[in-house]
Amino acid sequence: MSSLSTVTMRSSHLMLRRAEVQRAQRNFFQAAIARHNFRARPDVPFLAVPSSSTSTRVMRVRHMTTERRAQLKYEILTGIKYVGYIWIAGFAIFGISFAYFCERNERDYPTTEEWSFMTRFRMRMANIALHDPKHGNSVDWIQVGHWIDTVIKRLHDPGLEGAGLKDAPDGPKGTKDITSKSEEWRRAYFDAMMFWAKAAEHMEGWVWDTANGGTFPPGTMIGPSNPYPKPVPPGFRKAPREEDCILRHENPNEIYLKILNTVGFTDRQKIDAGLAYGSWLEYKGIAGPASIIYEDALNLALKQLKETSPVTPIDPKTMTLNEEAGLPTENLLNTLTAYADFRARQGDINFALPVYISLLKARRSLPQPSDIDITSSLKNHKPTTQQNRGFFSGVYNLCTKIFIPPPYPPGPGDGIAPPVRNQAERCQEAALSLHIGEIMYATNPAAREEGLGWTREAVDIAEEQLHKINPKIREMKPVRQVCRDCLVTGLENWQKMVARLAREEQAKKEEAEKMITTEKGWFGGLWGEQTPVKTEVRDRWSAEEKVIEERQRRVKDFVEDLRQPDRGWLSFLKA
């Protein structure tokens, strides 16, 4: 009993002691809260109650936590990575597009590998601006002149393409001696110079504003030499002042003289340049110098035959071809045709007609291309095995065509040999027949129907050749253009000739109706028998007019380019 009571007393004592301690602690905290005005709940930001009272303290929120910092770092690095990927893909697409652009244009407009990349690129851009205009059929000659001008400057620069060039002894300043260069380089240089002369013809008189920049057409600058300036076309800046203007390009006269005096060009190249120079002088109305240039080109073509042919190729009085001298050369045919055209345009019909007839007879006697092609193919024929015709051979040829650049095409030759009667020559025959028919119809009233027959023949030949020429071959585009112009002109001449004959016959018919012969009868033959007037001729010309209209509708696809212009590879984004 004594031990149990002792334990009971000790436990009650501990309980009393614990109650006193708890009471003391509660009194201490209550006193501390009352003294310091503490809140009964913890001061945690996300547990704070919003209050509109101005006395409320501003909450301090921790925005940049460790997790937030890691997330921002990841997002920034990911953004930089994706932006880099986009830029790399963009540069790759641009590089591929640029390479494809250069490769396609190189195949369309080949350039020599002896030039640097920038010179070749600028030459291609000049050809693109000339042959593939963006604004319909109008050519931006400002852009063409800019590109070809930079090409010529690089070709004449001793530090670039002009290394090793010397100044020629004759000709204007800047005429070069290119004998140190290869034949391919000289041929490319000739094409560039002729291109430059053509651009200068269209840009004659245009000026460059050195103060504000820009190219302006002639007659728009303000100055003493031009007191009444023309208005500036839309799209140009304000009119320049005369003291700030210089010529944008050299005079075409100086450029052609540079070409003719360049040391290193062949006779064929000088003949081509002379014919272009004579045509330019004739266009400017300078007939005397133009005649001299044409005659010089003709004499140069005749000079090539003096050593090979003992017989004079042409009659010195009539300038007709001599049949005893054999087949004429290509240079002689081209120069004599150009000279006859010039004399005909000057009104000397009696000179031009016999020359045209002799030229047509000579062109019709030229050898056919089939004979030469068959002979050359038999000489160069190599038997092919079945293995070369397999699948892998086709794949190899395709890869070779894609990845190997095309060679620079060969030149047209020296022009000393007679040409072949190919499609180009047949188009020239059509043009000669057209000239002959026009002259005979206009000069001899008794030979009108004969001239009409020549015109019909020219239309038939031109239409036949247009059906044979492949329009996808770029080299045949000039030939196709000649045949197209001949066909259009021939149909117009044919229509005018027939319409004139129909009007004359109608006038004769009306005049004959007034003078109808009748038998004698009462009151002036009122009841007399009238003689009918024959109208077979009138019906013939009316029927032929309908034939011409039908031919014009039939060849409409040949004489009109109905294809839409190329809108580029982003055309699907345009309306």
547: phi then psi, degrees, rounded to nearest 5: -65, -40
* C-alpha gyration radius of the chain: 45
User: What are the pLDDT tens digits along the chain (575 aa)?
Assistant: 455 566 566 666 667 767 666 666 666 556 555 555 545 555 555 555 555 554 455 555 667 778 888 888 888 999 999 999 999 999 999 888 888 888 887 878 888 888 888 898 889 888 888 887 665 567 888 888 888 999 999 998 888 888 888 888 887 888 888 888 888 898 999 999 999 999 998 888 888 888 777 788 887 778 887 778 777 777 777 777 878 788 888 888 899 999 998 888 888 999 999 999 999 999 988 888 999 999 999 989 888 877 677 778 888 888 888 887 778 888 898 999 999 999 988 888 888 888 899 898 888 888 887 644 433 433 344 444 344 455 566 666 666 666 677 778 888 888 888 888 888 888 888 888 888 888 888 887 888 888 888 888 888 888 888 777 766 666 667 777 788 888 888 888 888 888 888 887 777 777 766 665 544 444 444 444 445 544 444 567 778 778 878 877 877 766 665 444 444 444 434 44
| The pLDDT value given to residue 385 | 39
**Full-model pTM:** 0.74
- Rounded Cα–Cα distance for residues 236 and 113 (Å): 38
How far apart, in Å, are the Cα atoms of 260 and each of 175, 270, 404? 9, 6, 36
What pLDDT, on the 0 to 100 scale, is given for residue 327? 84
Residue for token pair 């112009």: 485
Sheet strands side by side (includes 245-247)? 215-216, 207-209, 245-247
If 0-12 CB within 10 Å is exposed, 13-18 middle and 19+ buried, where does residue 233 land? exposed
- What is the residue extent of each domain of the chain? 273-368+413-421, 425-514+534-565
**Phi, psi of 485, rounded to the nearest 5 degrees:** -65, -40
pLDDT at position 87: 93
Task: Please classify residue 275 by burial: count the beta carbons closer than 10 Å to its beta carbon, then call 0-12 exposed, 13-18 middle and 19+ buried.
Answer: buried
SS3 at position 314 = strand
Integer Cα distance of 414 and 334 in angstroms: 13
pLDDT at 1 (0 to 100): 46
**What CA–CA distances, in Å, run from 14 to 7, 10, 20, 22, 27?**
11, 6, 10, 12, 20
Contact 461, 426 (CB under 8 A): yes
CA of 9: how far to CAs of 5, 14, 84, in Å?
A: 6, 9, 85
CB proximity list for 155: less than 8 A, separation 6 or greater: 119, 161, 162, 189, 192
154: tokens are: 């690089």
Q: What's residue 38's pLDDT? A: 46
- Rounded Cα distance, 248 and 215, in Å: 7
Q: Are strands 215-216 and 245-247 parallel, antiparallel or unpaired?
A: unpaired
Q: Residue 263, SS3? A: strand
SS (H, E, C) 31-81: HHHHHHCCCCCCCCHHHCCCCCCCCCCCCCCCCCCHHHHHHHHHHHHHHHH
Helices and strands in the chain: count of H runs, count of E runs: 18, 5
